[in-house]
Amino acid sequence: MTKVRNYTTEELLTRVKQLDSFDKLPKDYWILGVQSKEDTYNEFDDKFYLFHNNIFVDIVTGTTNAGLTGLLHYDRYNNKGVAVIKTNEWYYNLWSYGLHHNKMPSLKQVNKIKYFRDWNKNVKIEEIGKIYEGKIGINFHTVTYQGKISFIKKFIGGWSTGCQVINDVTKYYNLLNKVKYQDYVTYCLIKEF
């Protein structure tokens, strides 16, 4: 269970407008990820807020960090380390509706994102070393390929090696059904403050 503090809409909007990469609030739906200070190893301890322009729509739990598989066995995917998205950044028009691994309805990365490679296997996600930028398959999805079942997962495991993942399947599909008709979905990722 996440311990990320609760925020008012005003607090969140004020914070995201202070970021250097802020240009403007999207006119349509956009997603705000809040990465928890606790960073509990392999657990879904972050929050995602859905906004429509400046209107708060919904909040769900999930992870903005890789789980056990990515942290300890990243060499299966990339020998430089597991992908860690740079926080306190706006990523305009990052995703479009598509399939994750050709199996699950998701938001697929279509534009560049800034990220680090965490290689030290100390079970903590860290923004260390060189900043990379590119399209590397950082998708937004949930925790099962079995469709719209009612299911909440506690542990990340292999469900994220950099992807942004909602652990409550029902809430995920409720959110996805709101945003999937847009050409693009913008993402903003901040640290808990």
- pLDDT of res. 76: 87
Inform me whether the pLDDT recorded for 147 exceeds 90.
no
Domain assignment present for residue 143? The answer is yes
Q: Which two tokens stand for residue 182?
A: 């847009």
Separation of alpha carbons 24 and 92, rounded Å: 10
> How sure is the predictor about 2, in pLDDT bands with cuts at 50, 70 and 90?
low
State pTM to two decimals.
0.96
DSSP assignment of 122-190: SSS----SPPEEE-----EE-S-SS-S---B--B-TTS-SS-EEESBHHHHHHHHHHHTTSS-EEEEEE
175 φ, ψ (degrees, to nearest 5): -70, -50
Domain count, the chain: 1
- Report the number of secondary-structure helices (H) and strands (E) in the chain: 3, 11
Q: Which two tokens stand for residue 52?
A: 């429509």
Domain assignment present for residue 4? The answer is no
Neighbours of 27 (CB within 10 A): 11
Domain assignment present for residue 2? The answer is no
Q: Which residues pair with 118 in a beta bridge?
A: 82
Domain assignment present for residue 122? The answer is yes
pLDDT digits (tens, 9 = 90+) for 105-127: 999 999 999 999 999 999 899 99
Domain assignment present for residue 183? The answer is yes
Domain assignment present for residue 3? The answer is no
Residue 49 lies in domain: 9-191
Domain assignment present for residue 169? The answer is yes
How many CA atoms within 13 Å lie on the side-chain side of 82?
26
Domain assignment present for residue 48? The answer is yes
Separation of alpha carbons 46 and 62, rounded Å: 5
- pLDDT of res. 55: 98
pLDDT digits (tens, 9 = 90+) for 67-107: 999 999 998 888 999 999 999 999 999 999 999 999 999 99
Q: Which two tokens stand for residue 83?
A: 């992908």
Is there a contact between 46 and 63 (Cβ–Cβ < 8 Å)?
yes
Separation of alpha carbons 14 and 193, rounded Å: 12
